[in-house]
A and B are shown apart, each in its own frame.
Chain A
Amino acid sequence: MARLSVNLNKIALLRNSRRTGVPDVLRFARIAHDAGADGLTVHPRPDERHIRRDDVFGLAELMRPWRPAFELNIEGYPDSRFLDLVGQIMPEQCTLVPDAPDVLTSEEGWKLAPDQRRQVDPVISALKAMGSRVILFVDPDAAIVERVRDAGADGIEIYTGSYAAAFRAGIRTPCCAPAPRRLRAPPS
């Protein structure tokens, strides 16, 4: 059965709209755990628009008694800031995204052309040496998926936004084939 990793970014986004600390991200982490989730996902972007660097340390501390069965998945663009954070937190899983820092949300996966391979291959090795499982965020494209194994990653996260957009449009094909461009959802 597929595990559920609850992403807390939107709780943090609401929290960040005031300076009161409400809602408390850690409180919702505990609720997710107690309600039966299998882990948590956070995506600490450089501008800290939702999850902040300090949140990740707080979550790691809260989750200490529950890990590793209850996993922490840290998503992010593999820059030096991300690698430093991961090195300190040692999450069970890292999901690498190719986002530029200013994108609204992750809507495009790794293509793993030679330039990206040169960027991502050493990062994968470094993260695996730290003990994290390494997942690459990819578009639902079989040609790209074939390249993931060569890159040394442990797996993929398939971008399902195009599937969801097609589903909203009434196309009930239960697959991850990319939707036509016009069906792509606006950034969330």
Chain B
Amino acid sequence: MVNIGHDLNLDNLPPLIAALPTVAEASIGHELTADALVMGFPEAVRAYKAALGDKASA
């Protein structure tokens, strides 16, 4: 099981997931919280879900 974490954001996450499609989990806090200041916390969560490939959140 491979997880990833640290300084992941909406820009660098999609190419990393594309290169490592078997990643099980990304733990994200700092960048998500920073984005939430602009877009709101629920929308930031949905944006990161979409960046991980969740089409329902896109």
Interface residues of A (CB under 8 A from B): 1-11, 28, 31-32, 34-39, 41, 73, 75, 95, 105-107, 133, 135, 137, 154-161, 163-165, 167, 172, 174-176, 185, 188
Find out whether the CB atom of B3 lies under 8 angstroms from the CB atom of A7.
no
The chain B residue sitting closest to A137, CB to CB, is B5
Q: List A contacts of B53 (CB < 8 A).
A: 1-2
Q: Determine how close the nearest CB of chain B comes to the CB of A152; give it in whole angstroms.
A: 13
| Closest chain A CB from B29 CB (angstroms) | 3
Whether B52 pairs with A37 at a CB distance below 8 angstroms is no
Q: Most A CB atoms within 10 A — which of B19, B28, B45, B53?
A: B45
Residues in B whose Cβ lies below 8 Å from that of A35: 41-43, 45-46, 49
Map CB proximity to A onto B38-58 as digits: 1 under 8 Å, 0 otherwise: 000111011011001110110
> Shortest beta-carbon distance, B46 to chain A, in Å?
6
Task: Return the contact of A4 from the options B7, B9, B28 (Cβ within 8 A).
Answer: B28
B residues adjacent to A (C-beta < 8 A)? 1-9, 11-12, 15-20, 23-30, 32-33, 41-43, 45-46, 48-49, 52-54, 56-57
Which residues of B lie under 8 Å from residue A176 when comparing CB positions? 4, 16, 20
- Residues on B with C-beta less than 8 A from A95 are 3, 27
Across-interface contacts of A154 in B (CB, < 8 A): 1
B58 to chain A minimum Cβ distance, whole angstroms, is 11
- Among B9, B33, B46, B52, contact of A2 (Cβ-Cβ < 8 Å): B52
Verify A133–B1 contact, CB threshold 8 A: yes
- Taking a contact as CB atoms under 8 Å apart, the answer to whether A188 and B30 are in contact is yes
Contact with B5, one of A1, A36, A37, A159 (Cβ below 8 angstroms): A159
User: In the complex, A137→B9 CA distance in Å?
Assistant: 19
Which residues of B are found within 8 Å of A106, using beta-carbon distances? 6
Interchain CB contact under 8 A, A10 and B7: no
Contact of B3 with A36 in the complex, beta carbons under 8 Å: no
Beta-carbon contact of A34 and B42 below 8 Å: yes
Ordered by A's residue number, 6 sampled pairs between the chains whose C-beta atoms are within 8 Å are: A3-B25, A7-B30, A157-B2, A161-B7, A164-B12, A174-B19
Contacts of B2 in A (CB 8 A): 155-158
The reply to whether A174 and B25 form a contact with Cβ atoms under 8 Å apart is no
A98 to chain B, nearest CB (A): 14
In chain A, what residue has the closest Cβ to B31?
Answer: A164
Tell me whether A36 and B54 are in contact in the complex, defined as CB-CB below 8 angstroms, given that A7-B27, A133-B1, A160-B4 are known contacts. Answer: yes
